[in-house]
Amino acid sequence: MELSKLKLIVTGGAQGMGRHFSLRLAQAGAQVTAGDVLEDGLKSLEAEAKGLPGKIFTKKLDVSNEGQCTEFVAWAHQQMGGLNGLINNAGILRDGLLVKKDKETGQVKKLSLENWNAVIGVNLTGATLMVRETVAKMVEAGDKGVIVNMSSIARHGNRGQSNYVSAKAALAMNTNTWAREFAPFGIRCGAVAPGMIETPMTQGMNQKARDQLVSMIPVARIGLPEDIWVAVKFVIECDYFNGRCIDVDGGLSM
C-alpha cells in the first residue's frame, strides 16, 4: 500500500512510538486518526501536524472500553471518508513478579489481579477489540487494507512481566490467525515486535534494570521510535508480507 493513500487509525498516538508513527504518516500524505487516553498529548500532536501533507484527527480513546472502540472506529471512518488500516499500538506496563519473597520480612507477595487485568485489558483485549471493530468497518465498506499489531520481544518470556508477556505473545500469534481469517476480504495482518525503545514507557523503568537491558543489546544502544517506524512502514508497503512478526531489537535476547 502507498502511504499517501492510507486512511488509518493509530492507537496510543499521544506519545512515544504512536506519536512518531502518526507524524511520519502525515508527512507522507496519509490521513490519520490518533486515539489515546492522554488528551493533552493528542491536542499537541494535532497542532504539530498542521502544515504537513497529510492530516491528523484526534479523539480520546480507552481501548479497554468496548463502547469507546466501536464509537472511535465509526468516528474515524467518518472523519477520513474511509478506513484502510490500523496500527494497534496502545499499551501499558504493570510489571511485577508473579510470586516473590520480601528479603527483609520474608513475607510472600503476589502479583495483584488488578495489575494482571489492567495489562491484559489494554494490551490484549483492547488490541483485539480494535482489530475486530476496524476490520468489521472495512469489510462493511468493502475496503481492503492492513493491520499492524505492536507485539514485543518480551513475548519470548521475561522475568517480572507475566501479564505483558501473555498479552504480547497472544497478539503475535493472533496476527497469524487474523491474517488467515481476513484474507478473503483483502486485508493483511502483520506484527512488529520492538525491543528496548526510547519512549516514555521505558523512561519510567527502574534505572538499574534499564541499564542492565541496554548493556545486553549487541548494537550497543537503545532503539529509537524511527527504528520501529522503518519496520512498520515495511509491513504497510509490502503487499506480500502477511501473518508474520518482525523482531526489531538490536539483537537483544531476553
In order, the DSSP letters of 159-184 are TTBHHHHHHHHHHHHHHHHHHHHHGG
Q: What is the DSSP letter of 105?
A: T
| Of 84 and 209, more confident | 84
* Domains defined for the chain, CATH in brackets: 3-245 (3.40.50.720)
Which pLDDT value is given to residue 3? 97
What strands, in cross-sheet order, belong to the sheet with 7-11?
55-60, 31-36, 7-11, 85-88, 145-150, 187-194, 245-248
Residue 254 in this model has a pLDDT that exceeds 70: no
Q: Find the catalytic residue in 72, 116, 164, 178.
A: 164
Please count the other Cβ atoms lying within 10 Å of the Cβ belonging to residue 184: 8
Helices (H), 49-85: 66-80
Residue 193 in this model has a pLDDT that exceeds 80: yes
- What sign for the dihedral angle of Cα 211, 206, 40, 35? positive
Rounded to an integer, the average pLDDT of 47-64 is 97
CB within 8 Å of 42: residues ≥ 6 apart = 13, 14, 34, 35, 36, 58, 59, 60
Residue 57 in this model has a pLDDT that exceeds 90: yes
* Res. 73 pLDDT band, cuts 50 70 90: very high
Rounded to an integer, the average pLDDT of 77-84 is 97
Distance CA 31, CA 9 (A): 9
Q: What is the DSSP letter of 155?
A: G
Question: Interior CA angle at 20 toward 125 and 59, to 5°?
Answer: 55
Which pLDDT value is given to residue 252? 84
Question: Length of the chain, please?
Answer: 254
Residue 253 in this model has a pLDDT that exceeds 80: no
Active site residue 240: no
Residue 175 in this model has a pLDDT that exceeds 70: yes
Which pLDDT value is given to residue 206? 76
End-to-end CA distance of the chain, in Å?
33
35 within 8 A of 91, measured Cβ to Cβ: no
Give the closest residue to 89 by CA, choosing from 207, 2, 197.
197
For residue 113, give Cα distances in angstroms to 66, 118, 119, 164, 229.
Answer: 20, 8, 10, 13, 34
Task: Please give the model's pTM, rounded to 2 decimal places.
Answer: 0.94
Average pLDDT, the chain: 95
Instruction: Dump pLDDT digits (tens) for 124-169.
Output: 999 999 999 999 999 999 999 999 999 999 999 999 999 999 999 9
Instruction: Dump pLDDT digits (tens) for 86-126.
Output: 999 999 999 999 999 998 899 999 999 999 999 999 999 99
Residue 91 falls in which region: left (phi positive, over 0), alpha (psi -120 to 50) or beta: beta
Instruction: Dump pLDDT digits (tens) for 143-152.
Output: 999 999 999 9
Residue 14 in this model has a pLDDT that exceeds 70: yes
Distance CA 142, CA 68 (A): 23
Instruction: Dump pLDDT digits (tens) for 202-248.
Output: 777 778 877 888 888 999 899 999 999 999 999 999 999 999 999 99
